[in-house]
Amino acid sequence: MYSIMPLSKWKCVLCGEDVIEGQRFFYIPGKGYAHAECVYERLAEKGYSREVAALMDANEVLAYAIVRLKEAARIAGEGEVSKEITDARKKIEGLAAKLEKMLVDLVGGFEED
């Protein structure tokens, strides 16, 4: 049997509500965590390009993979399988961070209007 670990929580930098691990979220470099929906709403208000939509879509896929891999490592318990899954998750986190930075650079940040 595997143990249940507490979920991490952060405050959404765009709406101020809790972002709970497992929800769809982005990490905004230099700001913190934000709900995916808050990011989408903010960008839609500003009428951004297809490139922005593509980055958001790709990042959401990576975010889902991160959540699922974290759960898979937890289920695997201790040992080589869990370590390999964790290593894969960390690589995907790095890719997600790169795309998140690219998104922030493309839209000029998420400053308050």
In tens, the pLDDT along 24-78 reads 888 888 889 999 889 888 887 878 788 888 888 898 899 889 989 999 999 999 9
Find where tokens 């879509």 sit.
57
Residue 113: inside a domain: no
pLDDT at 51: 87
Residue 3 lies in a domain: no
Residue 88 confidence (pLDDT): 97
With bands split at pLDDT 50, 70 and 90, how would you rate the model's confidence at 112? low
How far is 98 from 20, CA to CA, in rounded Å?
22
Domain that holds residue 67: 9-107
Identify the CA nearest to 24 among candidates 71, 57, 55, 73.
57
Total domains in the chain come to 1
Whether 93 is in a domain gets the answer yes
Q: Could you tell me if residue 2 is inside a domain?
A: no
In a domain, 85, yes or no: yes
Length of the chain: 113
What would the mean pLDDT of 77-105 be, rounded to a whole number?
94
What mean pLDDT is reported for the chain? 86
Evaluate whether residue 1 is within a structural domain: no
Confidence of residue 111 (pLDDT cuts 50, 70, 90): low
Q: How many CB atoms lie within 10 A of CB 98?
A: 12
Domain membership of residue 4 (yes or no) is no
